[in-house]
A and B are shown apart, each in its own frame.
Chain A
Amino acid sequence: MTSPTTPNTPPKNHGQATLADGPVFETKIEQVGEHEMILNMGPQHPSTHGVLRVVLKLDGEVITEAVPDVGYLHRGLEKLSENRTYPMNIVLSDRNDYLSAMNNNWAFCLAVEKLLKVEIPSRAEFIRVIVGELNRIASHMVFYGTYGIDLGAFTPFLYSFGRDREEILDLFEEICGARITYNFIRVGGVMLDAPEGWIERVKAFVDRMAPRLVEYDKLLTLNPIFIDRNLGIGRLPAEKALALGLTGPNLRASGPALDLRKDHPYSVYKEFHFDVPVGKGGGDCYDRFMVRRQEITESLKIVRQACEKIPSGPVMGKVGRVYRPPAGEVFAQLEAPRGWLGSYLVSDGTERPYRHHIRAPSFINLQALSDLVKGLKVADTVAVLGSLDFVLGEVDR
């Protein structure tokens, strides 16, 4: 069975697009059996959450092989870093994982601060924790909404994405002026102090959110169709997850309670009490969903504690406008909403990094996809893709 347009055929040029003359990367998957079919998914597909392409080999409706094809959003971030000064690089880090830009700012600044050995004022650390955790909640709300859409429930999206996430974005807009790309956490502290009354408004938001989470559970978590679509689908054992290098909620859903905020506390995370939710159902899609859902509760706890303990004082350490970190290499990582986000920097003593590498959790979590969808039906691919919750900006960089 050969269809006239197999997915491996590159699109026709039509004599207009000169940009299409670049290299064409073919995904190596071959049709063997008589009843086998190759199905192309993406790069434009509503449930691949961006521009991921997956080539599926089907036997009837059962998937026998799945090969992800990444790079449709490769923007050359690491190479560009070598052309930018350190403060300019924070702008690029915003656009790496655009659902949690605060955490990306933070990861880059952690590495540079390690090189510069600069002391961060206590108030700045607390503001960082507040905005970082709020961004984690916003990111998980996007997951909650879009995962519902993937599995056929449109309404939760309107609550989490349209109502509650917008409230967090309003808070961010107040403190730094941007909705998505913040450039707020700077080397040595944060851009500005919180405006008057902002901490109270954050507290009010946390109070508002608690009853709304009950609403969330009624809408989606306890929905029988949603549970049926999730329970037992895409099981990932803990050993396998560790071997693949998975981190973040995807790993915790399989059992191990590895969280950098607990195990290697950076910033002021030592001062807060919170639990690390883990999955108890063997690492299926429902576990991955539940871990994120519970993390919203835990993050709200941290934000509340941080709002109560926040000291007064300066928000910027002693860093000059132009700085040249001493030569050397450094690696710093933190717990981003999608896992361990690391920043590896090599400095040669100039104002630009010599080499910048990003340990992107989404890219490494995506490795589990091929193993997870094997033996599942086509419709379950959407559930597995959604439950891994990757951001293509971070996968391709």
Chain B
Amino acid sequence: MTSGFDILHGLRRHKIVGGELFLTTVDFFVDWGRKSSIWPLTFGLACCAIEMMASFASKFDFDRMGVFPRPTPRQADLLIISGTVVKKMAPAVERLYQEMPSPRFVVSMGACSNCGGPYYDSYSVAKGVDKIIPVDVYIPGCPPRPEALYTAVQTLQEKIDAYWDAGKQILKPVPPSEEALKKINEAAISARGS
């Protein structure tokens, strides 16, 4: 897996008269922008939401990673499930997820949204938000510290990087072997014959 912060690994530099020319693929460039501006939704559920707010405040300052809260799901890339998802709230959480534009990411913050946490035997609590929506990163803790949320954002950036790596292999295919070419030709001839 490539590093989350090395932006140069997908660029090709060319010295030209008067400066430098950077060549890259659109995939890399879009993903570089995507991972550097992960905008979460201002959506707090319970105790973890207070730690999420602390992350956005001056001491931890997630703005330096481009993480800046947005109040509407239409502008958000990331849904941080920060607290207990109870059965009454579950349809609303799912609806919020459906309202977000793709690509969208979900971070399950804390024990409650991972698996029910201290309310594992409660009649009204959904035992894990992954029963409703897909989750990208899980953070343990009750509540997790802002540093843990920081790591989650880093992990998410690495994940977005991995998307680009997967795309790179498709863009530069390995030339097919002679045997494979033979098979393709044979298949084409037999298809024409019928």
Which residues of A line the B interface, CB within 8 A? 10-14, 16-20, 22, 25, 43-44, 46, 49-51, 71-76, 79-80, 83, 91-92, 95, 98-99, 142, 145-146, 157-159, 161-163, 165-166, 179-181, 392-393, 396
B121 to chain A: which residues have CB within 8 Å? 80, 83
A392 to B98, CA, bound (A): 25
A165 to B125, CA, bound (A): 30
Q: Tell me, yes or no, whether B160 is within 8 Å of chain A by CB.
A: no
Q: Tell me, yes or no, whether B118 is within 8 Å of chain A by CB.
A: yes
Q: Tell me, yes or no, whether B139 is within 8 Å of chain A by CB.
A: no
Closest to A166 in B: B59
Interface of A is mostly: loop
A358 to B41, CA, bound (A): 32
Interface centre among B45, B47, B84 (most CB of A within 10 A): B47
Beyond A71-B88, A392-B46, 7 additional contacts (C-beta under 8 Å) are A11-B91, A18-B131, A25-B88, A43-B92, A51-B45, A95-B47, A162-B58
Instruction: Give the distance to chain A from B63, nearest Cβ to Cβ, in Å.
Output: 11
Which residues of B line the A interface, CB within 8 A? 41-47, 49-51, 53-54, 57-61, 71, 73, 83-84, 86-92, 94-96, 98, 118-119, 121-126, 131-132, 142-143, 145
Closest to B60 in A: A162
Contact B145 A179 (CB under 8 A): yes
A392 to chain B: which residues have CB within 8 Å? 46
Instruction: Give the distance to chain B from A86, nearest Cβ to Cβ, in Å.
Output: 16
A95 to B45, CA, bound (A): 12
Contact B143 A11 (CB under 8 A): no
Instruction: Give the distance to chain A from B143, nearest Cβ to Cβ, in Å.
Output: 5
Closest to A155 in B: B58
A44 to chain B: which residues have CB within 8 Å? 41, 43, 73, 92, 96
Contact B95 A11 (CB under 8 A): yes
Query: Given A157-B57, A166-B54, A180-B51, A73–B46 Cβ distance below 8 Å?
Result: yes
Contact A73 B45 (CB under 8 A): yes
Contact A50 B119 (CB under 8 A): no
Closest to B123 in A: A76
Contact B54 A80 (CB under 8 A): no
Query: Given A44-B96, A98-B46, A19–B132 Cβ distance below 8 Å?
Result: yes
Instruction: Give the distance to chain A from B98, nearest Cβ to Cβ, in Å.
Output: 7
User: Within the complex, which residue of A14, A17, A92, A161 is in contact with B53, where a contact is CB–CB below 8 Å?
Assistant: A161
Instruction: Give the distance to chain A from B71, nearest Cβ to Cβ, in Å.
Output: 5
